[in-house]
Structure 1
Amino acid sequence: MKPVLILFFCILIIFAKAQSNSSFNQYVPNSNQVLFVKTPSASSIKGKMFLYERKNDKQSWKLRDSFAITVGRSGLAKDAHTAIPLNNSLPLKHEGDGKSPSGIFKLWKVFSYHNLQHLKMPFVQVDTNFYCVDDVNSRYYNQLVLADTVAKDFNSFEHMKLNSNGYEYGVWVLYNSNPAIAGNGSCIFLHVWSDENTPTSGCTAMAKENMLKLIYWLDSAKNPVLLQVVGE
């Protein structure tokens, strides 16, 4: 084989290893779908999401798709309770820091302004009556509530139906859940970005077409998780 071709294949192998989530296998024994997000530095607002899938834990991971994402306006911060080893220099995630959480997280419901069909995830259609509570003094902190069915003890919340398309399609990330610890951060979603240069307040966002591909790919039977780290 010619030296140029040998070099080319070596580069491909190195690149494939760099994009792999296999080094975290021990932390996802019961998951067969992983949304692997990497940002080049802790302060970066841009990164990339890789969608990995396998048939079972005895099979190898297959890369199904990858695309650009944006994260919090202040980059990434460490989930204080994550099981995976992370850079100790990362700050801890807390409410209002403008950072997206770094760690590994289960996914909950897909949500949308529209009545979506043929999903393989639990789903909720949201309207102006749906709130996510981010008031650290509320019993409903980091919970999805129907405003007209709860005794309001909160002064701060996020509308789940916006005047923009930001939450037109999204997925609830189970960060700081079960139990929710006041002040550790709330209302973390995957959702539609404003554009490729606009960060979020702490969520992970992507182009609408990629959000749609993602929500129809997700399968609750495969126990999908979000794995979000600072990578090379």
Structure 2
Amino acid sequence: MPNNNQVLFVKTPSASSIKGNMFLYERKNEKQSWKLADSFPVTVGRSGLAKDAHSVIPLNDNLPVKQEGDGKSPSGIFKLWKVFSYHNLQNLKMPFVQVDTNFYCVDDVNSRYYNQLILADTAIKDFNSFEHMKLSSNGYEYGVWVLYNSNPAIAGNGSCIFLHVWRDENTPTSGCTAMAKENMLKLIHWLDEKKNPVLLQVVEE
């Protein structure tokens, strides 16, 4: 894509695979060639991948369309938003928010806050389901918000899609893309807002 000089390229061997690999590519500008900065294994949704209904790139017609609660990670190309963490991180080149137990991501399709990051104590409670952004585990200790189904968020198309720390290499997610903590840390310090990073996620076949 024009003006995107960092790409997080994820590919899985099949539509139902829960494992894949992420390749970090970077270039100085559109006239320069892409260079591989790093690569490492990832896990995706427990039901594999499903395509973004509004994808701007061609995807396999046999892939199901991503829906709320399907346990699938979205396939397509997506901008990235804020890095988030339980800790106050310094020296990042991305927008950042330190999350605590007051931060929710709403996944209730009937809520005005669907697929939004909110502060629980200031929101009008019109939702019955949400994700805590600070978990009892280290899953969201470090993460990146993926701008899937955003601007506008279409009810039912899927919500709360992140890059985050995995439980282990054999445990899938509910629809996010996860990796080892050490790789998550490398990723968030590599990302640069000025390079307009995007996540490109596809099935290899």
Q: Could you state the TM-score of these two structures normalised by the residue count of structure 1?
A: 0.88
RMSD: 0.4
Deviations 1:122-161 (A, max 9, x none): 0000000000000000000000000001111000000000
Q: Does 1:60 align with 2:33?
A: yes
CA distance in 1, matches of 2:3, 2:188: 20
**Which residue number corresponds to residue 106 of structure 1?**
79
CA distance in 1, matches of 2:32, 2:204: 24
CA distance in 2, matches of 1:74, 1:89: 15
Superposed, 1:1-232 pairs within 5 Å as 28-232=1-205
CA distance in 2, matches of 1:88, 1:72: 19
Deviations 1:70-110 (A, max 9, x none): 00000000000011111000000000000000000000000
2:106 maps to a residue whose letter is V
Gaps of 5+ in 2: none
SS in 1 for 2:91: coil
SS in 1 for 2:143: strand
Flag the structure with larger Rg: 1
**How many angstroms does 1:29 deviate by?**
1.2
Runs of 4+ in structure 1 off by over 2 angstroms are none
**How many angstroms does 1:118 deviate by?**
0.1
Deviations 1:157-199 (A, max 9, x none): 0000000000000000000000000000000000000000000
Q: Identity of aligned pairs, percent?
A: 89
2:28 maps to a residue whose letter is K
**How many angstroms does 1:30 deviate by?**
1.3
CA distance in 2, matches of 1:35, 1:155: 33
1:152 maps to a residue whose letter is K
SS in 2 for 1:149: coil
CA distance in 1, matches of 2:189, 2:125: 34
Gaps of 5+ in 1: 1-27
